[in-house]
Amino acid sequence: METGVLANMQEFNHEQVIFCQAKDVDLKAIIAIHDTTLGPSLGGTRMWPYASEMEALRDVLRLSRGMTYKAAAAGLPLGGGKAVIIGDPKKDKSQALFRAYGRFINSLDGRYITAEDVGTNVFDMECALLETDFVVGTDPCHGGSGDPSPFTALGTFYGIKACLEKVYSDSSFKGRTFAVQGVGSVGAALVRHLVKNGARVVACDIDADRINALKQEVSFESVTPDDIYKVKCDVFSPCALGGIINDRTVELLKCKIVAGGANNQLERIEHADMLKKRGICYAPDYVINAGGLMNVFLELEGYSRERCERMVQNIYHNVARVLKIADEMGVTTARAADVMVEQHLDKIRQSNRMFTMHQKHVLRNVHRKR
């Protein structure tokens, strides 16, 4: 199997991939622009100690494609992009590194707009902001809206409500058991919502300090990361890294619903079929976790927290629509979400072509008159 960069780009149909390096600050980054049919690409910057450059490339390609679909499913005029910085976020960060990274973003002249993601935070983005205006999710004092994670969690909460209504004909969280994988910014905020609404929560994280810190705020049970898949629950909620629904884990699940804030939860699309065969309702990740994207998008128009909260509530209806399409078509929810997005993108592409053809026709007539 060919594993070159262009072959990988063709697999996911990317427009552009940019490799960035600055040896003096030890910056090694990849920016992937998937599709700009709907507008400029927007997506966060992830910092992670990838085992290889190819692993980083595959991750950024999958993530950026997901952002195209996420924006389209949410009805936003944005394309899909994502970036990864190869490094350990606990020890490899510096202002110089993120300023150098910001200069690379600036060179793209708005084709890619970034924000924080796994391994990066508001402060990192403010360092990049010193070199480029194409950054969102910064502190309000810089005109931003701050960390978008709480809105990702809030949208996930509303999406779970749609799944509960579908599976149990009751959207109440009271008395339901949730297994939450990962209590970083998104997972912790989701746990707070769940506990507040009467749910029993069992959670895990690879960082014990996160578990201990959250236990100081709310009451929940904790298990090891390996045991989280085996928890008997109503909802399994992945809120960490991607690829966690795979050949090994899908058979371990003891739930009726998979719905969480993580990106790229399915290792392969076939795992959606495996979930369906086991009678597990899956909320496609890019539909349910779009709240953070909605939040930072509003910075481009003029931010309003109240408007954002109203937009995020619509994730309930977006997830419900996907579940309905899946039933009507007799397909997995993952396929139903893809169909919904691809039809929307095709309509916009057709409209764009018609507009371009009209422009050319007008120009030809102008030239003839001259």
Per the residue annotation, which of 82, 93, 166, 256 is the catalytic one?
82
Is residue 370 exposed (0-12), middle (13-18) or buried (19+ Cβ within 10 Å)? exposed
Contacts of 210 (CB under 8 A, 6+ apart): 183, 184, 188
The CA-to-CA distance between both ends of the chain, in Å, stands at 56
Handedness of CA 105, 111, 113, 119 (dihedral sign): negative
How many Cβ atoms from other residues are within 10 Å of residue 156's Cβ? 32
Alpha-carbon span 36 to 356, nearest angstrom:
16
The CA-atom distances, in angstroms, between 299 and each of 102, 137, 238, 321, 363 are 18, 8, 27, 27, 36
Rounded (to 5) percent helix, strand, coil in the chain: 50, 15, 35
The CA-atom distances, in angstroms, between 227 and each of 75, 180, 205, 222, 293 are 37, 11, 11, 10, 31
Asked if 369 is an active-site residue, the reply is: no
Give ∠ CA 181-184-187 in degrees, rounded to 5: 50
Alpha-carbon span 341 to 155, nearest angstrom:
18
Alpha-carbon span 341 to 257, nearest angstrom:
22
Which residues form the catalytic set? 82
